[in-house]
Structure 1
């Protein structure tokens, strides 16, 4: 069974423990023709593209879809989809925007609801699910810890996270020591394109996007096998994961600042989608708190503005070189 999801707060370990295959949703097409009638013009570009992809019968290989998130766009996407495709099994995972004991309990309860729905769909017992989850957590912890430590020491630049590659590059390598190190903060769209563009401009890029750092990096992750598996999973994704914009802004700032200082990041390119209130708040907050140059670049649903992006990136490079 293939289970589609797109939010980095949805643990793929739950899907795997239900003997299903997690499919992180993206779209090769930027079309929005089928989605436009159901969504307002000022709306999340990624949500428009994703809804169009799902409605265009490109979800035939998905047996189940998990929606989720703490923004209005994620909820509206779910509401529209179940109204238009009532026969497609799906679930909405409620994710709290803060991280405290009460929110952990709530999130754990949400994860349990998701697991029960997948289990009933798959016909798997709760006992088998927990046994599967314990085995998967053992492996997942090792992978997450190794990947996180490697990235946070500056050894996984470029598209290493995007393609889940462990391709180490020492910061002492003479071929990269002269490059300007920048952190790319971005959503789901055009991440590969913007990384390629920045690398062509001789930047050393670290991927802080929704498909990179926010999905794969878990600073200070801990694992105690004696704890309940769902408690462990809730803590990993709500407390240990790099927060997304709008989620726990102070924790997000602390993680980014530590990474900037440790790796020697010289600038930030903040590549954000139009009409995203959470990104705009995050951008404003980081600009006030982080004391290195930050270039905001807005995008919509097309890659047609690349010429403007290049001009601004070239100017940003000159600013960084002059410091």
Structure 2
């Protein structure tokens, strides 16, 4: 007779039993289906695959034409005026990216809490995530052409707002995942004191999630710099506005100068934001990249 409240002993493994071999047909079938899909895409897409062999030579010609402008003396005519003009447009692109990131951060911050399963009710989470999905599905270029340019007209304001709205979808989704990954023990400790819901979020969730969320904002700023260069092609301001004119006129030397500025500024911002992100997330810890450099030295 079994005592009430106790469980029967679990049946242990029988000596000599071995785990069943996994069925290989499932993996084989998945691999075959994937291979068939890839082959169908290669066959049905309207691409001239034979021209791939010509790509290295064509790319070399274009690089030679574009580097010719970069290697010229920037203080000599006619490149002096263009270097200053391109730099002004690059600064405008940085301003667009910064304003767009701020707009995206402000709008996505509450959306991240509404989309997190551990802090919001299921209906609110479902609706918020669908809204974020819709925003992520619309490229910034379409937002600029279809919404911002008709409302605000040509200029950097339309581009900055397009970048800001486009950032909301990604920052809201990633921010909600950061909030869902917080340690529940500090949250439970704050709730055990009888604190209100808002206080629990402010003192239990926010201190854990905020460093990662700020790091996401900085990473989005880098993406917006590159995206802002494309928006200029439709009249939304930034350095892309002169790139379109240069490609139409086939001024390859000036195209090279413009692309050089875009690449140089993007690399510089990437290095600075990487150090800031590490400082925010790791606190006063030593940057591993700097540590490796010192060790090699």
Task: Bin the TM-score by the shorter chain.
Answer: under 0.3
**TM-score calculated relative to the size of structure 1:** 0.26
- Greater radius of gyration (CA): 2
More strand by share: 1
**TM-score calculated relative to the size of structure 2:** 0.27
